[in-house]
């Protein structure tokens, strides 16, 4: 069993990482770390707020073994004490601490701190695994024994999975999208209050649209041997927050290079990802994309947990009457599973098996 540390363990994504790793056949959680405020407490105590209430977010019960585990200070954490680090910190501390860890130890990160570095891939399961070869360039450039492999922005996790088969079969010229994002994507602190979100939609998420408008081109780009050449299409986005707990919905309008029908798009989506699924990674679903003909689906409450929260659900595939070669559809992904903790775990599984060759 490989020894795993979770850094930022008290946050929502850190908690999801814990649940995703419980009973894993390859990995065992042996260390937890968080901010100085939580350090020195056991994990159960570190989760308590100022009123003594637990901030445990997951519907699953906190395992006794994890609850009693001591929480270390992330700023002084010894990265050599584990085989792999899962970093679920915010971007600020991640920018400072992840390079320190990566000097000796592989870091799988949900933070945005290193996503845009030219020697750093943004891996999304089944979409761009050939980009993993860029990690060797990163290690050489920086003199690291480990590496940093960041997860994508949670909003585009479902979008890029749905775009990849379209890109491969028909080419993508441009994308117009609007997101309806769950509240859990805002985190717990500062998060969003029930008073703000009940009977409401917030039409702006600070810093979100620039990420959504740039990350997919890198993820869907070509590895040149030294860096990644971005895909040439453009994206314009509007990102909103809606009163849903989990599950990011995206309404996508895609102009393709070649003409295609909704039936063509449905076919390539349903056939997509078979080779990746055959790798039988513990966290991977049997199907990367599930296409529904029900005009009222996908819906977050009904579809977000498909494939253990790792399957993207696509519905309402239609011709667009304005865009030349236009296709429009709705896709749904679980933002704290595929879009964060469990997606990062899937990346770790792939890298351990195919890059590090440790299993």
Q: Where are the domains of the chain?
A: 2-153+341-354, 154-333
Say if residues 130 and 223 touch (Cβ distance below 8 Å): yes
Q: Give the pLDDT of residue 335.
A: 96
**pLDDT for 94:** 97
Domain 2-153+341-354: CATH architecture, name and number where available: 3-Layer(aba) Sandwich (3.40)
What is the mean pLDDT of each successive set of 10 residues along the chain, which is 359 residues long? 97 94 97 95 93 88 95 98 97 97 98 96 97 98 98 96 98 98 86 88 96 98 96 98 97 98 98 95 97 98 97 98 98 96 97 93
Distance from the Cα of residue 233 to its chain's centroid:
22
pLDDT at residue 57 in the model: 84
- pLDDT at position 305 is 97
Helices 341-354 & 12-21 angle (0-180, nearest 10): 50
Is 248 catalytic? The answer is: yes
Of 24, 58, 131, 154, the catalytic one is: 154
| DSSP codes, 248-317 | EEEEEEEEESS---HHHHHHHHHTTTHHHHTT--TT--S-SEEEE--TT---HHHHTTGGGGTPEEEEEE
Number of C-beta neighbours around residue 336 at 10 A? 30
Q: What's the confidence (pLDDT) of residue 102?
A: 98
Q: Taking the domain 154-333, which CATH number applies?
A: 3.30.360.10
Reported as type and span, the H/E element at residue 173 is: strand 172-181
- What does pTM read for this prediction? 0.96
- Closest Cα partner for 253 from 171, 133, 163? 163
* pLDDT value at residue 50: 79
Question: Which of these is catalytic: 248, 260, 287, 331?
Answer: 248
- How much is the pLDDT for 36? 94
Residue 91's SS3 state is helix
Per-residue model confidence (pLDDT) at position 192: 86
Tell me, yes or no, if 58 is annotated catalytic: no
351, containing H or E segment: helix 341-354
**Helix, strand, or coil (residue 214):** coil
CA atoms lying within 13 Å on the CB side of residue 312: 32
Write the CA distances from 69 to 221, 284, 336, 344, integer angstroms.
42, 28, 23, 22
Q: How far apart are the C-alpha atoms of 58 and 342, rounded to whole Å?
A: 13
What is the full DSSP assignment across 157-169?
Answer: HHHHHHHHHHHHH
């Amino acid at each position: 069993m490989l020894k795993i540390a979770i850094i930022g363990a008290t946050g929502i994504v850190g908690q999801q990482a814990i649940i995703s790793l419980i009973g894993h056949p390859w990995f065992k959680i042996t260390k937890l770390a968080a901010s100085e405020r939580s350090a020195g407490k056991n994990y159960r105590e570190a989760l308590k707020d100022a009123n003594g209430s637990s901030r445990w977010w997951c519907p699953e019960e906190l395992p006794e073994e994890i609850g009693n585990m001591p929480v270390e200070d992330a700023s002084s954490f010894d990265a050599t004490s584990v085989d792999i680090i899962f970093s679920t910190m915010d971007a600020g501390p991640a920018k400072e601490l992840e390079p320190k860890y990566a000097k000796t130890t592989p870091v799988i990160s949900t933070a945005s701190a290193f996503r845009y570095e030219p020697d750093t891939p943004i891996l999304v399961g089944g979409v761009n695994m050939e980009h993993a070869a860029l990690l060797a360039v990163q290690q050489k450039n920086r003199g690291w024994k480990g590496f940093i492999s960041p997860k994508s922005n949670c909003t585009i996790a479902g979008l890029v999975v749905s775009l990849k088969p379209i890109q491969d079969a028909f080419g993508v010229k441009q994308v117009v999208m609007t997101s309806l994002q769950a509240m859990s994507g805002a985190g717990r602190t500062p998060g969003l209050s029930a008073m703000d979100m009940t009977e409401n939609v917030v039409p702006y998420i600070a810093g979100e649209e620039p990420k959504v408008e740039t990350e997919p081109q890198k993820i869907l780009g070509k590895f040149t041997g030294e860096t990644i050449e971005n895909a040439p299409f453009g994206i314009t986005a509007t990102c909103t927050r809606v009163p849903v707990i989990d599950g990011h919905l995206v309404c996508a309008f895609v102009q393709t290079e070649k003409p295609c029908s909704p039936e063509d798009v449905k076919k390539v989506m349903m056939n997509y990802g078979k080779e990746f699924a055959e790798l039988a990674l513990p966290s991977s679903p049997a199907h990367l994309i599930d296409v529904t003909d029900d005009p009222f689906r996908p819906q977050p409450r009904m579809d977000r947990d498909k494939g253990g929260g790792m399957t993207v659900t696509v519905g309402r595939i239609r011709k667009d009457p304005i865009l030349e070669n236009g296709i429009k559809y709705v896709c749904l992904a679980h933002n704290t599973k595929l879009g964060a903790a469990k997606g990062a775990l899937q990346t770790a599984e792939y890298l351990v098996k195919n890059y590090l060759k440790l299993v």
